[in-house]
Structure 1
Amino acid sequence: MKNTVPILDYVPPMRDGVTASKVFLQKTDQTFNTIFEYLTVHFPHISRTEWQQRFDDQLIIDMAGQCLNINSPFQANTHIYYYRFLAHETHVPFQEKILFENDDLLVVDKPHFLTISPTGQYVQETLLVRLKKTTGNPDLTPIHRLDRETAGIVLFSKRPETRGLYQQMFADRKVAKTYHAIAPYRADLKFPYSLSLRLDKGEPFYTMQVIEGENNSHTDIEVLECNGQWAKYLLKPSTGKQHQLRVHLNWLNIPIKNDPFYPVIQHKNDADFTQPLQLLAKEIHFKDPIIGENLHFCSEFELTL
């Protein structure tokens, strides 16, 4: 008797570091003859030409692992898988480095300009896909985030079974993170400086702003060295709001050097790697919830005045 994989148990293999995305074909009032028609309507930000190319490249498959085509009939209340690939991506000419690895955890030193997870502009040129290709592990998942512009330490979960323990560690603020930043020096500010502000979504939507109300972000700031014009700061956030360190230093009128968002948004060419944001996730400390040991990791990158 021929061995077959039950449809419900089928997990699409990773392709070139990319894990398949799952889509539910929902029943609607609109009639669809093909899956192609459904996808073009429900994902309008993706062109018909791109969907057709994905079918032609055999990047869309059914729950049994069979490749679909643009004439495959639509069947409501079922699932399909598709792989994300971009025809053109800007190569990021900087390399990540794995600093530590055990059965559950991967610790990586991320360079500037490398987005952590696939986005609209990047798939192959992301830290997650690069690491999946390097390790062959489709279960790799970032436990926390760093901006594309920020370099430094990032933790990845290797196994779904223990991922929640590490995520909870961050949620409970049991992780101590230390950053370095280069920003203008203000002699009138007395350091160490403790800053608490309320942050909320700004305009445009991908920025943050300071608003009135109860504080929801806190950072302790020290000066490591200065040359009169610029200073190298040690930043210890006890909260993890989006862009927190960038907004906090900008609020003090010492915006981080080469920041493309604060105080003024500057739309740079994606292929311009000449002025990296001078912000580095330098160190991380925590008690590992699996092995029970205190772990400490330090980035090998350095910011210089």
Structure 2
Amino acid sequence: MTPPFDPAQQQASTVCLPPGNWATVLDCLCDHFKAIERAQWLDRFTRGRVLDAQGRPIAAELPYRRGMRIHYFREVPNERPIPVQETILHVDEHLVVADKPHFLPVTPTGEYVEQTLLRRLIRRLGNPHLVPLHRIDRHTAGLVLFSANPQTRSAYQRLFPERRIDKHYQAIAAALPQHTFPLIHKSRLEHGEPFFRMHEVPGQANSETLAKVLEKNGELWRYGLSPVTGKTHQLRVHMAALGAGICNDPFYPQLIKEDDDYQRPLKLLAQRLCFADPLTGEQRDFQSQLSLDW
């Protein structure tokens, strides 16, 4: 069931109306977003889900004006519930740290809007200013940091591109006795086909991962993975490239087109985040309460 609309607890998408010859804002939006039917846009206008630059609901008959800034709320009709539950590990004036379960997206994308970690936390904490400071993909579980205060957000955002935060993951995959650990794997990653899959290509490396073995259990090993860079699906691609795709990975090394199997999650966990707080200098060390079983 879609929760009641509360503009204070949801984040709107924004569009500046492009040049054209439309009579109304509705006409422009229908033509600009061809995948959304006119009836659906009319319903959004009626329920106050299309706003002007000041956040006030507007009428579908409002005359079109080039460059007008419009806010609207993405919706997915009959959005499918995701039967997993996140855990909030830390809340203060500036930071929120959550343990994300497998299968839950961090932010709205595609067929997921309300069933995302961001929307769930906004509703739970009543803070519409939450913004994720980094991403982990939907299939990965573990720690995600959120900025809770726009005034201090940039200080925390800089931690990632400036590489002032240590990220530690765990993964379970096939044994790799042919390699000597610890090892560093570097490669150039680019988007492939389909677009959401990454692949290694010739050229200067733009991704780097430190891998070590934490535990051996017959044909499966538990690996500690520390990404130096933060490319999409980096750890998943690098492990597949080493010859041990992470257990239950639906994308690598082969694409498996199946519905989510909640009994077979990807064996990848964002387990620990360490950094010096940019505001206080205090050493922060957050650890996931989740674990990967064999």
* TM-score for both structures, normalised by structure 1: 0.90
Q: Hey, what's the Cα distance between the residues in 2 that align with 1:84 and 1:186?
A: 45
Matched with 2:16 is: 24
Structure 1 residues 132 and 76, CA, compared in 2 at 3 Å: closer, same or farther? same
5 Å matches for 1:113-262?
Answer: 113-262=103-252
> How far 1:15 moved relative to its partner?
2.8
Residues 197 and 251, structure 2, Cα contact 8 Å, conserved in 1: yes
- Offset of residue 14 of structure 1: 5.1
Could you list the runs of 4 or more consecutive aligned residues of structure 1 that deviate by over 6 angstroms after TM superposition? none
Q: Determine if contact 1:232/1:304 at 8 Å carries over to the other structure.
A: no
Give yes or no for contact 1:40–1:47 (8 Å, CA) kept in 2: yes
Q: 1:279 aligns with which of 243, 249, 268?
A: 268
Q: Which has the larger radius of gyration?
A: 1
1:58 CA displacement: 2.3
Q: Is the 8 A contact 1:217 1:244 kept in 2?
A: yes
**Separation in 1 of the partners of 2:144 and 2:15?**
29
What is the distance in 2 between the residues matched to 1:67 and 1:172? 40
Partner of residue 96 from structure 1, selected from 77, 86, 90: 86
- The Cα offsets for residues 185-225 of structure 1, whole Å up to 9 and x where unpaired, read as 12222222221112112221111111111222111111111
Shift of 1:40: 0.8
Seen in structure 2, the aligned counterparts of structure 1 residues 250 and 25 have a Cα distance that, compared at 3 Å, is same
* Pairing 1:42–2:29 present: no
Aligned-pair distance for 1:103? 1.2
5+ long unaligned stretches in structure 1: 1-12
SS of equivalent to 2:9: coil
2:8–2:128: 8 Å Cα contact kept in structure 1?
A: no
2:158 counterpart letter in structure 1? Q
Structure 1 letter corresponding to 2:171:
A
Percent identity between the aligned chains? 43
Out of 288, 291, 294, the residue aligned to residue 283 of structure 2 is 294
| CA distance in 2 between partners of 1:162 and 1:236 (Å) | 27
What TM-score, normalized to structure 2?
0.93
Structure 2 vs 1, CA of residues 193 and 77 (structure 1 numbering), >3 Å: closer, same or farther?
closer
Unaligned residue ranges in structure 2 (runs of 5+): none
**1:81 matches 2:71:** yes
| Counterparts of 1:76 and 1:288, CA distance in 2 | 44
What SS is found at the alignment partner of 1:166?
helix
Alignment of 1:53-68 (within 5 A): 53-68=43-58
* Structure 1 position 50, deviation (Å): 2.1
- Following superposition, the deviation at residue 120 of structure 1 comes to 2.2
Amino acid at match of 2:234: Q
What is the letter of the counterpart of residue 50 of structure 2?
I
Please tell me whether the aligned partners of residues 116 and 146 of structure 1 are also in contact (alpha carbons under 8 angstroms): yes
Task: Please report how far the alpha carbon of residue 22 of structure 1 lies from its aligned counterpart in structure 2 after TM superposition.
Answer: 2.5
What is the CA deviation profile of residues 124-173 of structure 1, one whole-angstrom value per residue up to 9, with x for unaligned ones?
10000000001111110000000000000110001111111111111100
Distance in structure 1 (CA, Å) of the matches to 2:32 and 2:274: 44
SS at match of 2:64: coil
Q: Do the aligned partners of 1:17 and 1:130 also contact (CA within 8 Å) in 2?
A: no
Contact 1:144 1:155 in 2 (8 A): yes
Could you tell me how far apart the structure 2 residues matched to 1:295 and 1:284 are?
Answer: 8
SS in 1 for 2:36: coil
Q: How many residues align?
A: 290
